Amino acid sequence: MQQGRPSLVSIPIQVMTYDIDYAQIVHNAVYIRWLEDLRTALISDTYRIEELLADSISPILTKTEIEYRLPVRFGDDVTGLMWVSKLGRTRWTVEAEIRVGDQVTTFARQQGYFADAKTLRPIRIPVHLREIWQS
């Protein structure tokens, strides 16, 4: 965990042939999938997705902002990082970086909340996640 980045998760990302366009650059839509993988890793470290769903809790994404700084290409050594940057009673914000080596190629911010899976109404952030994310 890095200073100012509670609950930092880092995962290697492999650029696949189906991720790139004719210029061998990763297509913008692929970043959404990578962010989903990072959010899943961030949550499931503490609260397995199967348990979350069994408890009738669903994470709901409300906003995604992506800043594409440099292209990512097929064959690049890519790492994704994500951390919780803001935590409210029911809402959360995560930030992420996609890196090639030490260079940040992409920065993203996502906002969302947890909901009762049946009613889709917001609920408090689950206690075990709040404990980890606030540390």
Structure token pair of residue 100: 């090639």
3 within domain boundaries? no
* pLDDT tens track for 2-54: 445 666 899 999 999 999 999 899 999 999 999 999 999 998 878 888 898 89
Q: What is the pLDDT of residue 3?
A: 46
Q: What is the pLDDT of residue 1?
A: 36
CATH number reported for the structural domain that contains residue 82 in this entry: 3.10.129.10
Neighbour count for residue 36 (Cβ, 10 Å): 12
1 within domain boundaries? no
Domain that holds residue 109: 9-129
* Overall domain count for the chain: 1
Mean pLDDT, the chain, rounded, equals 91
Contact 49, 79 (CB under 8 A): no
What's the pTM? Answer: 0.90
Q: What is the pLDDT of residue 132?
A: 83
